[in-house]
Amino acid sequence: MEGTKLKVDRLTAYYGDNPAIREISLDFPERRVTAIIGPSGCGKSTFIRCLNRMHETGAHTRVEGKVLLDGEDIYDDDPVRVRRRIGMVFQRPNPFVTMSIYDNVSVALRFNGRHPREYVDQVVIRSLQQAALWDEVSDRVDAPATSLSGGQQQRLCIARALAAGPEVLLMDEPCSALDPLATSKIEELIGQLKQDYTVVIVTHNMQQAARVADFTAFIYLGGLVEFGPTEQLFERPKERLTEQYITGRFG
């Protein structure tokens, strides 16, 4: 059995007095893709944002419980350091518009210490390769990031996140703003990323979860309903609620 990279222990997150997620406990296996599915507004995004301490950047927010990365609680550590180990890709591509492709990818390196130019170049190339974007931009890395198409921009954001050297990559509905071709490129890329990274992907598209994820967790109304290997969850779910959701019988 593979090891657990990220262990969530009775996590509860609040907006004001309102708990958006309640006492969720979950183990994310190392170097596997885990998908989080559930209806809109039921806490998926809130949950994943707690995993890299982004939830607390909002106003009037509070978190209880633990999130253990390799056994150590990230809530006891410096949030900036945590976010370098746990990266995130957002729903809409958000490259820095004032910067070129090269500058976007290298931003984490440049802002956090001085590195020789050759080293930065290497990291940029490697990250762009890992994000399956290098072939398309190798001749114009100094072009503005905004000159790329939507799908390319999202891959740029993935490269940017990878260049920071994380161990875990969180993806919050990364394909929902993209067309099917761009989506399938990114899904393919996720399949390759799991060789080196532990991936957690929130998606409202169940076929996507079925395509890319090894494990799937179903979250409903702020609570974890079921977690298991994807194939088992989709062919023969254990919980009635899970079956109702994935067959579209909610209401």
Residue ranges that bind another protein, judged by CB under 8 A:
39-40, 52, 54, 57, 59-60, 80-85, 87-88, 90, 92, 94-98, 107-108, 111-112, 144, 146-147, 157, 160-161, 164, 204-207, 210, 234-237, 242-243, 246-251
> Given the complex with another protein, which of 10 and 36 has the nearer CB atom?
36
> Given the complex with another protein, which of 2 and 143 has the nearer CB atom?
143
Phi-psi region of 246 (alpha: psi -120 to 50; beta: other; left: phi over 0): alpha
> Given the complex with another protein, which of 25 and 112 has the nearer CB atom?
112
**Is residue 224 within 8 Å of 42, Cβ to Cβ?**
no
In angstroms, give the least distance from the CB of 83 to another protein: 4
In angstroms, give the least distance from the CB of 32 to another protein: 21
Write the CA distances from 38 to 195, 217, 221, integer angstroms.
26, 8, 9
> Given the complex with another protein, which of 96 and 134 has the nearer CB atom?
96
> Given the complex with another protein, which of 1 and 207 has the nearer CB atom?
207
CB atoms within 10 A of CB 5: 21
**Cα 163–165–166 angle (5° rounding)?**
120
**Helices of type H across the chain:** 44-50, 79-85, 101-111, 117-130, 134-137, 150-163, 180-193, 206-212, 230-235, 240-246
> Given the complex with another protein, which of 34 and 230 has the nearer CB atom?
230
> Given the complex with another protein, which of 32 and 85 has the nearer CB atom?
85
In angstroms, give the least distance from the CB of 23 to another protein: 25
The contacts of residue 192 (CB under 8 Å, 6+ apart) are 130, 132
In angstroms, give the least distance from the CB of 30 to another protein: 21
**Cα 59–62–63 angle (5° rounding)?**
140
In angstroms, give the least distance from the CB of 16 to another protein: 12
In this structure, the strands spanning 198-202 and 72-73 are unpaired
Run of H or E including 217: strand 215-220
In angstroms, give the least distance from the CB of 40 to another protein: 7
Alpha-carbon distance 160 to 95, whole Å? 9
In angstroms, give the least distance from the CB of 239 to another protein: 11
